[in-house]
Amino acid sequence: MARLDADPQLPDDLAGAIRRCFDALAMNERFRLLPALLLAERQVTPERRSGNDYIARLSVPDVLTLAEQMERRSSNRLLRENPEANLAVVAALFGPEDRVLLDASAHRSLKDACVLARVQVTTFPHNNVAAVERELRRAPAGQRTLIVVDGLYSMDGDLCPLPELVDLKRRYGAFLLVDEAHALGVIGPTGRGVHEHFGMAADAVDVWTGSLSKAVPSNGGFLAGRRDLILYLQHAAAPFWFSAALAPAAAGAALEALRVARREPERLVALRRNADALRTWLRARGYDTGNSESAIVPVLVGDDVAAWRLARRLFDEGVLVSAVVHPAVPQGAARLRLCATAAQSAADLDEALDAFDRAGRPAGLA
């Protein structure tokens, strides 16, 4: 969600609004990451730029130098996108004889990963721990089971019940994969993710996947887990082998973003202050924000057309917000998806909420 400063048809104003809308920790303001991006590009020697090695997978020394700076921080591997990471893990580790228990609200790429692996899939109701346990009890003897969830759900703004899921996977001998695409940088006291939020060790989860294009404003994805597991995936995961490396500029920008987040915790404080205010004020005005407890704040509408119309009315009032309809969400669960950021001012939020008052009344939503 962002306030358009002037005529919404002006490209410069629209571009600025989009930056405020999607840059969770406000790292793109004043080109904060640009020096690191340019430095990363300069580290690639001219002879490397001229050959095919420049775009090969992670074996080029110049690119690897940047990647290793990130990978040495934990046992992980970088890929070009978060969906590639999800495809890499499931297809490399599980197959037709195994089973996946998949949260109904899990990201589409996790569902695609199960199709690629040809694994048996059982979908359980969103965040329903009792349903997960029922399915684990029914598992045939000797069958491996992987529980697959998001850390932070991108359309609902709520968190997975990580402590309960870890308890279940330990008691029943299952495995657990958590996609942290939307949680990294914004969840937990220092933004380390859902495990930090719940005060748990990272190794309580078997495999983490995530994105470098959400709170970390670059591009790419990552896998994280035990060193032996990640070493195996490095050699067995097809999306890792048969894709290009991150561009040096992307790796450099991502690395600097992690440093900035660590040095400047006030960004996370501002993000949470804005998210809490937005959610509280919308609820006070009668809007249904579901179970959101993060910077992702849905406004539940129900009907697809009603969601589109409300988004258009808000745009006419100078507020940019996305309508999310089927198949991104179930039929009858259309919504507006608001994203609080550290860059939004009190004036931005006030004007947006006033626009909701004016736009929502004709639709009977306020």
CA–CA separation, 79 vs 58, rounded Å? 9
Burial label for 154, CB within 10 Å (0-12, 13-18, 19+), is buried
Give the model's pLDDT for residue 146.
Answer: 97
Q: Which residues are known catalytic residues? A: 154, 182, 214
For 204, phi then psi, to 5°, come to -70, -20
Task: Tally the residues of the chain.
Answer: 366
**197 class by beta-carbon count within 10 Å (0-12 exposed, 13-18 middle, 19+ buried):** buried
Work out the angle between the directed axes of helices 129-138 and 162-172 (0-180°, nearest 10): 10
Smallest CA-to-CA distance from 106 within 158, 170, 184, 175 is with: 158
Residue 71: the pLDDT is: 45
Q: Which domains does the chain possess?
A: 2-24+265-360 (3.90.1150.10), 34-262 (3.40.640.10)
Question: What is the DSSP pairing of strand 322-324 with strand 76-79?
Answer: unpaired
Percent of the chain having pLDDT more than 70?
Answer: 77
* Main-chain dihedrals φ then ψ at residue 122, nearest 5 degrees: -120, 120
First CA to last CA distance, the chain = 18
- Sequence-ordered list of residues with C-beta below 8 angstroms from that of 307, at least 6 positions apart, any chain: 301, 323, 324, 325, 334, 335, 336
pLDDT digits (tens, 9 = 90+) for 158-200: 999 999 999 999 999 999 999 999 999 999 999 999 999 999 9
pLDDT grade, residue 225 (50/70/90)? confident
Instruction: Output the average pLDDT for the chain.
Output: 82
Helix (H) or strand (E) holding 330: none
The better pLDDT of the pair 301, 73 is held by: 301
The pLDDT value recorded for residue 4 is 55
242-294 tens-digit pLDDT: 777 777 777 788 888 888 888 999 999 999 999 999 999 999 999 999 999 99
72: which 2 tokens? 């040495």
82 compared with 284, residue with greater pLDDT: 284
Average confidence (pLDDT) over 129-145: 94
Between CA 1 and CA 242 the distance in angstroms is 37
Residue 245 CB partners (closer than 8 Å, separation 6+)? 55, 56, 57, 58, 59, 60, 63, 67, 78, 80
For residue 240, give both structure tokens. 């890792």
Distance CA 312, CA 318 (A): 10
